[in-house]
Structures are given as structure tokens and as C-alpha cells.
């Protein structure tokens, strides 16, 4: 079992296979969200700082959700391969 911080002040005991899946999903959500936020923010004129910040937040949320889905699927596939082949990486 592994303890994961799932929310501020909230910890969950998760088995190691599922913890790896959740960590991969969170990593993909963060990385894809940040890059997507900056891509969407670049569509705004540099002089309009408030709109750029709003667009970054919108882009981060949308692309972060997409990244979480891709990360969870990728983590599940990696965990399935480890279970089926018996190879630990």
C-alpha cells in the first residue's frame, strides 16, 4: 500500500499498481495542462494581461483534463504490461 495525497489534507491508501496509474495521470495532466495553457494564452495580444491570464486558466483546465485521460490510459496500459509479463520497470 502507498499513501497518496489526493486533496489538501486528504490522504488515501492505494495499492502500488493503482498508485502508479494515478501518478502517471497526474503527471500527464500537469504537463499537458501547462503547455496547453501557454498555447491558448499565446493567442491573446500581449498588452491585454487580464485576458491572457483567463485564457491560460481555460487552456490549462481543458488540456489538463485531456492530459489526465491520456495519462490514466497510459498508466493502466503500463501496469497491465507489468502484470502480464511479470517484468518490473
Q: Which residue has the cell 495542462?
A: 33
Under 8 Å between Cβ of 25 and 77: no
The whole-angstrom separation of Cα 56 and Cα 30 is 13
- Give me 10's grid cell: 486528504
87 band by pLDDT with thresholds 50, 70 and 90: low
Element (H, E) at 8: none
Query: What pTM does this model have?
Result: 0.70
- Give me 46's grid cell: 500581449
84 band by pLDDT with thresholds 50, 70 and 90: low
Residue 40, φ and ψ in degrees, nearest 5: -70, -40
pLDDT in tens, 8-51: 888 888 888 788 888 888 888 999 999 988 888 887 777 777 77
Amino acid at each position: 500500500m502507498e499513501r497518496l495525497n489526493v486533496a489538501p489534507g486528504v490522504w488515501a491508501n492505494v495499492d502500488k499498481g493503482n498508485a502508479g496509474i494515478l501518478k502517471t495521470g497526474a503527471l500527464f495532466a500537469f504537463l499537458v495542462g501547462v503547455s496547453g495553457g501557454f498555447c491558448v494564452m499565446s493567442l491573446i495580444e500581449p498588452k491585454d494581461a487580464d485576458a491572457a491570464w483567463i485564457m491560460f486558466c481555460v487552456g490549462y483546465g481543458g488540456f489538463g483534463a485531456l492530459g489526465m485521460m491520456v495519462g490514466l490510459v497510459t498508466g493502466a496500459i503500463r501496469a497491465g504490461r507489468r502484470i502480464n509479463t511479470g517484468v518490473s520497470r
